[in-house]
Structure 1
Amino acid sequence: MKRYDLIVIGAGPAGLSAAIEAAKCGMKPVVFDENAKPGGQLFKQIHKFFGSKEHKAKIRGFKIGEELLAEAEKYGVEVVLNATVVGLYEEKEVTVKIGDEIKHFKGDSVLVSTGASENMVTFKGWTKPGVIGAGAAQTMMNLHHIKPGERILMLGTGNVGLVVSFQLLQAGCDVVALVDAAPRVGGYGVHAAKVSRCGVPFYLSHTIMEAEGEEEVEGVTIAQVDDKFQFIPGTEKHFDVDTICVAVGLSPMSQLLKQAGCKMKDTPGGYIPECDEFGETSVAGVFAAGDVSSIEEASSAMIEGRMAGVSIAASLGYLKEEERDQKCKELEGALDSLRQGMFAPKNRGKMLTKTEEGIDISMNLLKKGYVSDDEIEKYPGVTHTIGVHPVMECTQNIPCNPCQDACPKGCITIGDNITSLPVVDTTKQCIGCGMCVALCSGQAIFLVDETYEEDYATITMPYEFLPLPKAGDKGKALDRSGSYVCDAEVLGVKTSKAFDHTNLLTVKVPKDMAMKARFYKA
């Protein structure tokens, strides 16, 4: 039976981060993962991360995955793939199915970072081919380059539902609607806004009645629900679709921890182990990190993994306790900053009506997926001035600040509080470089020149669709709701390695449309 200093179960962001930190301290860790490729969910995430530099903000998920794998290789972390851990027993014995063999290993310590699985809801026809999880759709698109369907309805408006809906649009799918039984959008407003301006309608307080079709999904009927989630007769709506994506939350995959005898607890976020501040469970030497211990973003999982890695190293004598405490204090600070703002754990389930700055939260955004024209002007990132200037339609307190670092002229400020709304400093001169537009993880920044010509204005917007328009092309300008507002002429498209595949599309529109037009459709 082979023995390791540390056995990590799961090669996702938490597991790899923990193994890297342990290896830095001189340990010899092994990572087992049931998949053919390491990295967990990171390689499906083609969008840019939120947070700050220390959280790898403005970097796309798959790039972060590549960086983690390179770092793991650098420090000699052994990663075993197509290896399914089927048991975690006393004395930290692990049984792993590799090929057709069951092999036994022992670890001086074990970290469980198995992540989470997708939840499902039942409705008439829910077992038909064509009903899939949003994560499965993301795997098909971003790993295997296969369109999940042509016409798709998304159930769920949390961050997963919103992000995957946008990626479906990027893949050339027609997303006919986003549906959620909850009365308000569950994910970040900037994610909802970029889907909405593409013309996708939101149906809040609605859910699926039936998936239609003889052998596979050919249509779907939704209906409005009351405050007890009962269907309201006469509110039925039908859509012709071939695919239904379900994004209704995740459940921690904590079975191995329960099998190991760890003390568990039932929480609103799932069945999870009780852990101390270092991620150690009630079973000495068995740790947990990432979604298996609490459902959060990948950024949080990486920090939790690093904390577990240094804590395990200290517990086995590879690191002094004072060094562990210092490192964990720094990591805890980074983790705490991600757990602030409107979407902080302490605010889950609450109906907030004001931002941290005391501004009324957009009810239209929560109910329809976009900020209305009469609401947008009250936010500090929305300004008017002569010449090119940034317009930042970031209206919620979320942990993110790449825009502040992006501007070479200091036109944008957020301050020390990472969740503050961005502010435009009108005393600084914008040079129109577009770095803020390209690096905004929420695609919520636009460059506007309301004085371009006597009767016309220009708008530079983020654009991540193919084929790219060309200068001189004529098309339609859509507003925040995705409705046609005017014709638009393409003046140019800027691409740069520094923009990391976010193209800057500049269009010319009538002057009175400068604060309305937010998407270009060929």
Structure 2
Amino acid sequence: MKRYELIVIGAGPAGLSAAIEAAKQNMQVVVFDENARPGGQLFKQIHKFFGSKEHKAKTRGFVIGEELLAQAEEAGVEVVLNATVIGLYREKEVCVMRDGQIVHYKGDNIIVAAGAAENMVTFRGWTLPGVIGAGAAQTMMNLHGVKPGERILMVGSGNVGLVVSFQLLQAGCRVVGIIDAAKRIGGYGVHAAKLARTGVPFYLSHTIVEAQGDDHVTGAVIAEVDDKWQTVPGTEKHLEVDTICIAVGLSPMSQLVRMVGCETVDDPGSGGIVPVCNEYGETSIPGIFAAGDVAGIEEASSAMIQGRIAGLAAAERSGYMDKDRMSRKFEEANGSLYQLRQGMFSHANKGRTDLTETDEGYPLSSCLLSKGYVDDSEITEFPGASYKTSGIHPVIECTQNIPCNPCQDACRIGCIKVGETITSLPEVKKDVKCVGCGMCVANCSGQAIFLVDEDYDDVHASITIPYEFLPLPEKGAVGTALGRSGNKLCPAVVSEVRAVKVMDHTNLVTMLVPKEFAGTARFIEFEEV
């Protein structure tokens, strides 16, 4: 039986971060993962992360995965793949299935970072081919280059449903609608808004009734639900789809911590049954830790910090760090985690539907919460979108307190201010002149910043938008400008396309529109050839 000072179960963001931190303290570390490649969900995530620079903000998930793998190799972490941990025992012994054989290992410390599993809902026809989870859709698109379908219905408006819906559009699929039984969109408003302006409709207070088809999905029936979550007769709608994608939440994979006898609690705010942990992630059994989604569903940025803390705690427990050094490192990491847990999407606010204003006192957009976009009449109430001046200037349509500040760091002349609290709404500083470099547009993880020049010439305004679709339009291309709701506004002509390496595939497309549409045009659509 081989012995390690630390055994990590799961090679996702939490597990790799834990292993790296412990190995840096000279611990002997092994990571077991059941998959054929490490990185967990990171390699499916082609979008840019939120947070601040220390949280890997504006970096795409798969790039973070590559960085973690390189750091693990440099630190001497042993990563064992195609290795399924099927048993965990109080003596800190694990049973691992490898190549059809069960192998026993002993650890001085164990960190369980097993992640989470997708939830499913049942309805008539839910077992038909073509009903898939959002994670499966991401795997097909972003790992294997396969379109999940042509016409997709997304069930669930949380961040997963919104992010995957946008990636479906990027893959060339059509998202015919996003439905949710709740009355309010569950994910970040900026994610919803970038979908709405492409024309994707939202159906709130709706549920799926039936997947239609004989041997595969050929359509879907949805219907409204009342305050008791019951379908309302006579409200059924038929949607022509070939794929139904389910994104109705995640459940912690807590089987191993339950198997070993750790104290657990059923916490809906954390996604289900989770182990009771102290501030370092240590469970009720000394030397057994939990980190990442297995300890409570959060974003990958939080999982990485939790992993680091657990790795440090394991190192301190084994004598590789003194208490003072551990305390300093913990305070630094915990402070970073605290930042991510602020704002309207914080732990404390999970499940709340009574929030009516931002931390600064601005009324939340009711249109954004119910339809996916901020109404034209509401947008100028927010500090990032209220400032107008002659010449080019940024318009920041970020209207919720989400943990993110890359726009502030991206502006080399200090035109944009978020402040020390990364959940604060961004503002455009009136005493600093924008130079039109576009780095704020390219670096915004929510694609919520636009450069506008109302006085481009006597007739036109110019609007620079973030653009992550292929093929890229060419200068002179004629399209149709769309509003925040995806409504067709007016003809638009592409005057410039910027696609440079430093912008990391968030290309900048500048379109010219009649002056009267300067405050409303936010996307450009081209006819399919």
Q: What TM bracket, shorter-length normalisation? A: over 0.9
Match of 2:288 among 269, 286, 289: 286
**C-alpha distance in 2, partners of 1:493/1:32?**
45
Q: Which secondary structure state, in structure 2, belongs to the residue aligned with residue 91 of structure 1?
A: coil
**C-alpha distance in 2, partners of 1:303/1:208?**
37
Match of 2:512 among 487, 490, 508: 508
User: What is the correspondence of 1:117-128 to structure 2 with a 5 Å cutoff?
Assistant: 117-128=117-128
User: What is the correspondence of 1:343-382 to structure 2 with a 5 Å cutoff?
Assistant: 343-350=345-352, 351-382=354-385
Aligned to 2:335: 333
CA apart distance, 1:453? 0.7
**C-alpha distance in 1, partners of 2:10/2:487?**
44
Match of 1:472 among 463, 476, 491: 476
Aligned to 2:416: 412
- Are 1:301 and 2:339 an aligned pair? no
CA apart distance, 1:101? 1.1
**C-alpha distance in 2, partners of 1:417/1:274?**
29
**In the TM superposition, what whole-angstrom CA distance separates every residue of 1:383-436 from its partner, at most 9, and x where no partner exists?**
211000000000000010000011111110011111110000121111100000
**In the TM superposition, what whole-angstrom CA distance separates every residue of 1:279-315 from its partner, at most 9, and x where no partner exists?**
1111111110000001000000000000000000000
**C-alpha distance in 1, partners of 2:149/2:374?**
29
Aligned to 2:324: 322
- Are 1:521 and 2:525 an aligned pair? yes
**C-alpha distance in 1, partners of 2:288/2:415?**
49
Q: Which secondary structure state, in structure 1, belongs to the residue aligned with residue 104 of structure 2?
A: strand
**C-alpha distance in 2, partners of 1:181/1:261?**
36
User: What is the correspondence of 1:43-62 to structure 2 with a 5 Å cutoff?
Assistant: 43-62=43-62
The count of aligned residue pairs is 522
Q: TM-score, normalised by structure 1?
A: 1.00
**In the TM superposition, what whole-angstrom CA distance separates every residue of 1:41-68 from its partner, at most 9, and x where no partner exists?**
0000000000001101000000000000
Aligned to 2:486: 482
Aligned to 1:226: 226
Aligned to 1:276: 278
**In the TM superposition, what whole-angstrom CA distance separates every residue of 1:158-209 from its partner, at most 9, and x where no partner exists?**
0000000000000000100000000000000000000111100000000001
Aligned to 1:187: 187
**C-alpha distance in 1, partners of 2:88/2:206?**
42
**C-alpha distance in 2, partners of 1:13/1:349?**
25
User: What is the correspondence of 1:124-139 to structure 2 with a 5 Å cutoff?
Assistant: 124-139=124-139
**C-alpha distance in 1, partners of 2:475/2:216?**
43
**C-alpha distance in 2, partners of 1:449/1:52?**
28
Aligned to 1:248: 248
- Are 1:261 and 2:265 an aligned pair? no
- Are 1:463 and 2:467 an aligned pair? yes
**In the TM superposition, what whole-angstrom CA distance separates every residue of 1:82-123 from its partner, at most 9, and x where no partner exists?**
000000012101000111111000000100000000000011
Q: Which secondary structure state, in structure 2, belongs to the residue aligned with residue 207 of structure 1?
A: strand
Query: Unaligned stretches of 5+ in structure 2?
Result: none
Query: Unaligned stretches of 5+ in structure 1?
Result: none
**C-alpha distance in 2, partners of 1:344/1:282?**
25
Name segments (4+ residues, structure 1) moved above 2 Å.
Answer: none
Identical aligned pairs, as a percentage?
67
**Greater displacement, 3-12 / 343-352:** 343-352
**Letter paired with 1:65:** G
CA apart distance, 1:153? 0.2
- Are 1:444 and 2:448 an aligned pair? yes
Q: Which secondary structure state, in structure 2, belongs to the residue aligned with residue 231 of structure 1?
A: coil
User: What is the correspondence of 1:40-119 to structure 2 with a 5 Å cutoff?
Assistant: 40-119=40-119
Q: Which secondary structure state, in structure 1, belongs to the residue aligned with residue 91 of structure 2?
A: helix
CA RMSD of aligned residues (A): 0.6
- Are 1:22 and 2:26 an aligned pair? no
Aligned to 1:423: 427
**In the TM superposition, what whole-angstrom CA distance separates every residue of 1:462-511 from its partner, at most 9, and x where no partner exists?**
00000000001100111011110000000010011110000000000000
**Letter paired with 2:118:** E
